């Protein structure tokens, strides 16, 4: 008898076809996200759950006594209660690797937009504010030839480093739990302390996972160490940054600008960030391309099918040990 799974998000047709070859399944059909109660009611007899962002906690696990595998259609997995899942023998997987280029592309979109004030200039034109001879008020900062500081030199960090080095002739600094000798040899990246990176970098990109130890990893003390001309980019998780400290720093001119794809509360509604001209924001779209979302869904489906057959692929590392960068 084939295992039964539930799919809580709309997935591409080709991914659904793949799943149908291996599992019995039920899927959520609506573009409107499934309610918590509806999700819990679907889980009594399932062995696998294909999802993204749903909180996998004690409440859900109690509603799913046969559950063996939760496969996230994302690289992030801070929705997993690792302790509770371990206690019940439920495996958690994610989709690292395939999305690195897409997130790195967006990272440089944010860097360029913040440095050259592209959204602000676009709005100025739309509002009829472009006047001849007042170019000086539209000045921004160069990106090429500057220092790029990467906090968290994982797969995405390496892609960002390559774009910086080869596309913009940037000197690459990085801070990480461990040294990346390959990145040092191929890109000339320089390993340094966090304080050194913050003080020297012109562009600072935060690329760390969200754990108990990385909440507010960048806060008031870290912002004070940055150059007044620094650009800060966060494409990791919103909770890794003290948002109040960032707002104060941007409003007071402590740094030049910020580019953010992630926030403490999502969707972002009321926030001091929305009142600032020197911050560029996108609605958590790091992997939001047609091809990438399809690839992620397929990899998540493969992770699930393999787990149900007794094999392991892309199991989240915290299923083995806890670790943090700082």
For the whole model, what pTM was predicted?
A: 0.84
Q: Is 297 exposed, middle or buried (0-12, 13-18, 19+ CB in 10 A)?
A: buried
Strand partners, 151: 175, 206
CA distance 311 to 191: 36
The enclosing H or E element of 26 equals strand 24-27
CA distance 39 to 37: 5
pLDDT per residue as tens digits for the range 151-172: 999 999 999 999 999 999 999 9
Domains of the chain with bracketed CATH? 4-97+290-319 (3.40.50.720), 100-281 (3.40.50.720)
Strand partners, 231: 203, 257
**Predicted pLDDT at 322:** 42
pLDDT per residue as tens digits for the range 273-285: 999 999 999 999 9
Give the residue numbers marked as catalytic: 237, 266, 284
Instruction: Say if CB 278 and CB 269 are below 8 A apart.
Output: no
The pLDDT-based confidence of 323 (bands split at 50, 70, 90) is: very low
């Amino acid at each position: 008898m084939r295992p039964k799974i539930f799919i809580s998000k709309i997935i591409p047709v080709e991914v659904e076809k793949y799943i149908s070859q291996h599992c019995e399944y039920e899927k959520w059909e609506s573009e409107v996200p499934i309610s918590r109660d509806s999700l819990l009611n679907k889980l009594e007899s399932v062995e696998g759950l294909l999802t993204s962002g749903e909180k996998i906690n004690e409440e859900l696990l109690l509603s799913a006594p046969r559950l063996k595998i939760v496969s996230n259609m994302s690289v992030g997995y801070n929705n997993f209660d690792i302790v509770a899942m371990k206690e019940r023998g439920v495996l958690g997987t994610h989709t690292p690797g395939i999305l690195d280029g897409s997130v790195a592309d967006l990272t440089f979109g944010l860097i360029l937009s913040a440095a050259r004030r592209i959204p602000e200039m676009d709005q100025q034109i739309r509002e009829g504010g472009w006047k001849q001879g007042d170019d000086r008020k539209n000045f921004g900062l160069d990106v090429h030839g500057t220092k790029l500081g990467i906090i968290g030199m994982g797969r995405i960090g390496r892609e960002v480093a390559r774009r910086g080095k080869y596309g913009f002739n940037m000197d690459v600094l990085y801070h990480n739990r461990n040294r990346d000798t390959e990145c040092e040899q191929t890109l000339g990246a320089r390993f340094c302390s966090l304080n050194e990176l913050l003080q020297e970098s012109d562009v600072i990109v935060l690329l760390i996972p969200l754990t108990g130890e990385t909440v507010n990893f960048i806060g008031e003390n870290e912002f004070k160490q940055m150059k007044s001309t620094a650009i800060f980019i966060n494409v990791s998780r919103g909770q890794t940054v003290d948002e109040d400290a960032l707002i104060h720093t941007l409003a007071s001119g402590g740094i030049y600008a910020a580019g953010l794809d992630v926030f403490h509360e999502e969707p972002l509604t009321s926030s001091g960030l929305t009142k600032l001209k020197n911050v560029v924001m996108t609605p958590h779209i790091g992997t939001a391309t047609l091809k990438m979302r399809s690839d992620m869904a397929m990899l998540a489906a493969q992770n699930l099918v393999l787990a149900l057959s007794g094999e392991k692929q892309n199991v989240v590392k915290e299923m083995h040990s806890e670790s943090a960068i700082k």
